[in-house]
Amino acid sequence: MGRQRKRVVTGEADPPPTRKDEKPATLQRKEKKKKLDIGKIFINISIGLCIFSLIWFFYALYMRSSLAKRVVTLHHSPPVLDVNSTSAEVSPERFWGSYRPQVYFGMKTRSPRSVVTGMMWMRQFSEVDVNLRHTCEQGDRLQGYGWLMHDGLSFGVQEIHDSDFTLTTEFVKRMGGEHGGDWTWRITAKQHSSAPHAPVISLMFYAAADTQGYLEAHVEERNRLGSITGFSEELGNFKITFRKPVAGESSSAKYASYNYLQTMSPGLERLTDIVRNSLNRRFVYSHPSGEKRQYIAVDTYKPQHQPKSADPRKESDFVLHQVTVQTPFQIEVLFESGSFRDRPNQLSAAAMTEELEKRKAAFDAKFEKTFGLQAKGLGQAQVKFSKAALSNMLGGMGYFYGQSVVQSVYNEYPLLYPEGALFTAVPSRSFFPRGFLWDEGFHQLLLSKWDPQVTREATAHWLDLVNMEGWIPREQILGDEARSKVPAEFVVQRNENANPPTLFLALQKLVEQLQANPDAESSRPTLPFLRRLYPRLQTWFEWYNTTQTGPLPNSYRWRGRDKDTNLFLNPKTLTSGLDDYPRASHPSAEERHVDLHCWMALASGTMASVARLLGEPHQEYERTHQTLSDNALLDELHWSNQLRSFSDYGNHTQAVSLQQEKVYVPPGQPRHQFPVARLVRSVRRAPKPQFVNALGYISLFPFLLHVLTPDSPKLEHIFRDMRDADKLWTPYGLRSLSRADPLYMKRNTEHDAPYWRGPIWININYLAVRALHHYGNTEGPYQEKAATLYQELRTNIMNNVYRQYAETGYIWEQYNDSTGSGQGSHPFTGWSALTVLIMAEQY
């Protein structure tokens, strides 16, 4: 029989035998599911991380882009000045002015694209082939030039002393019409008594448009340009008439040769080059004696290799009138506005003389009323000097328009700041014909005495340039004309860099004037001005109080020190304004700067005063001011017991010197193929954190800005050091660095002569005289000593600055501490003109 099979019932069969190491199916499924879940989690985490990374990446890009834009984003509050505040409609009396400080004589309007007018000249038949004068240049070696009288408003009288003749340039304005009215120039030329022959001079008067408007030349008698007519948006129709020269003060005409030039200019900074490249010797001058000689005159302008990238839209009309005549002579140029329809007569000849004499008399009366120098017994020559100092600052006011070049740490390349206008005084017409932030506060101390409206407008222009962060570019290089005078390395402004906030000095003065005489016509506009200024002022103050803080609470540190320590004997701190004044030898984040601490004490006190005046919360500013004025805190942060003076603190050593670097030249190799040996810094002893033992201007700041209380024993040490001839005292003023200091009059590099390492600077000396006056009139144990020092220092400064002016024809940037001689840039009628306030004893 066959074998029987066992019947298997589905679902009831026995489970197959399992191996010992085999897991149950349910466990396998669970583990598989768990692995899938973990995988999904990892995948989800990875996707999440990718999404987060992308979000973070784009957010970082957005933030970097946003932060990069902050440097060129202006403050959100309404501008202090309305857009048309400088227009002929709103401010006709200040519309035209000598707002071109960089040229010897010229005028423009306070508008962005103004038609400009100016004068050039050259002496014919001289030893120098072409001695063309136009922009103020120290290389011209003039015997002196500057305004003798200028009211900042309606007239000016200037003298320019060339080699063997003097040009007197005068202008008078007359209000009328809708576009700022008329003005007339009068130029008088006289030979020097020492000149062997009467020189023959070519004067060149020009008008140039600036990308808008047009000019048309009207030629009479062959080459004589009789007039220019023109039109621009801000001037409407106008006419410029060139009168024939007359013999001195008389009305008899003189023989003259005439030439003219009519061409297109690619920019105002090119005007001198255009004229120079158009000169030709083919013209013949007939001397009154009958002698005929070839002379140099404008002919046809041929552009010299003009770049293909030149923007044709920038080309504008340029018209020039040349008159060549023998001295003595006098010429008038008349500007007449087309909208001045009820003109009583032309502002020329006797009418010009009468108007000019009225303005001179009014200027003299206002000057004496304001400064009272004659009442103090000063001589006529000193009073004349003081009038010239004030007039040069007023005549050095400029109106600039353009864009700064700026950069922040978030910008790979520099950016253009928003277009803006700036009405400001300039330190020097020849060397610094543009706005500097820390200079301007000193300028306005003098100008606020003469005309508070100028101070309000200038301060408003500066604060209208503040960005959303609260930063103002410290050097304003606006427009191609201004940029053409600045070395490339100084053009870019970086937003971590500050400058002393000296505008608070000027604001402090405006507040004092308002509180002393609130009903005075000159003070009434101050309160609404401060109200509009206040939001920007707050942001500006906060920017200093957050970006320039030091390593310890209530300490401060200038940013922007030179980082290449190998080349500098002591790395400069340009941002402090005192450039090469000795600071810590090795720049670091651990530095504490005593001058900045004192500036912030001044700023916070002024903020508190302004806030109280406006009814705004002032308590926080008051607390900051009290903290920073705490003499115990000041001692803790900045008093050096070793030097017994106030000092900076940082990583410092005095054992440094400049030495010739060693350049290895292999035997037999020519030396010229290897680098030139430079002077480099040698550090003989390692630096360590300590007080910087340099006695000088920085040591005086707690005294200069009245931070010290009248009974502070530190005043005794300060007065002793000030009066010590081996340290700071000289017969001409206080020197910037003690004669006993190792860096006294030491070069900072092989190319950098000492700047703030000994020479006498008038702005700091003004603060010193002002502080001595303060402590000499405040009860305390050092009152008598302060009063004595005050009289001595005041006398030394005013006598030396006046004496140097009388001898050289200039007010100077600084004065030699050994001889008192003027040195540096000249004329420097920025803060050196504060001598007027020292003479007037107005602080």
The residues carrying an active-site annotation are 579, 813
* Residue 778: other Cβ atoms inside 10 A: 14
- The CA distance from 420 to 80, in Å, is 13
Torsional sign, CA 695, 698, 699, 700: positive
CB atoms within 10 A of CB 749: 18
CA distance 741 to 747: 13
Between CA 826 and CA 830 the distance in angstroms is: 10
CA 207 – CA 229 distance, rounded (Å): 10
Residue with tokens 């072409």: 130
* 183 CB-near residues (< 8 Å, 6+ apart): 96, 107, 171, 172, 173, 174, 334, 335, 347
Whole-angstrom distance, CA of residue 32 vs CA of residue 27: 8
The structure tokens listed for 494 are 């970086």
Give a three-class secondary structure readout of 366-411.
Answer: HHHHHHCCCCCCCCHHHHHHHHHHHHHHHHCCEEEEECCEEECCCC
Q: Which residue has the tokens 């630096």?
A: 687
Contact predicate 557/551, CB 8 Å: yes
Residue pair 716/722 in contact (Cβ under 8 Å)? The answer is: no
Residues 6+ apart with CB under 8 A from 7: none
Residue type, position 378, single letter = L
DSSP notation for 743-758: TTT--SSSS---SSSS
- Give the chain's largest Cα–Cα span: 166
Q: Which amino acid is at 46?
A: S
Tokens of 71: 């440097």
758: left (phi over 0), alpha (psi -120 to 50) or beta: left
* Contact partners, residue 577, CB within 8 Å, separation at least 6: 438, 499, 500
Alpha-helical segments (H) within 548-593: none
Secondary structure of the chain: what % helix, strand, coil (to 5)?
35, 25, 45
Rounded Cα distance, 785 and 775, in Å: 9
Beta strands 492-494 and 405-407, pairing class: parallel
Distance, first Cα to last Cα, the chain: 141
Q: How far apart are CA 553 and CA 147, in angstroms?
A: 49
Structure tokens at 302: 């041929």
Calculate the alpha carbon distances from 86 to 391, 631, 829 in Å: 21, 45, 25
Given CA atoms 692, 694, 696, 699 in this order, what sign does their dihedral have? positive
Asked whether the bond before 344 is cis by omega within 30 degrees of 0, the reply is: no
If one counts every other C-beta atom within 10 angstroms of the C-beta of residue 187, the result is 24
User: Which residue(s) pair with 264 in the sheet?
Assistant: 317
DSSP for 108-131 reads EESSTT--EEEEEEEETT-SSS--
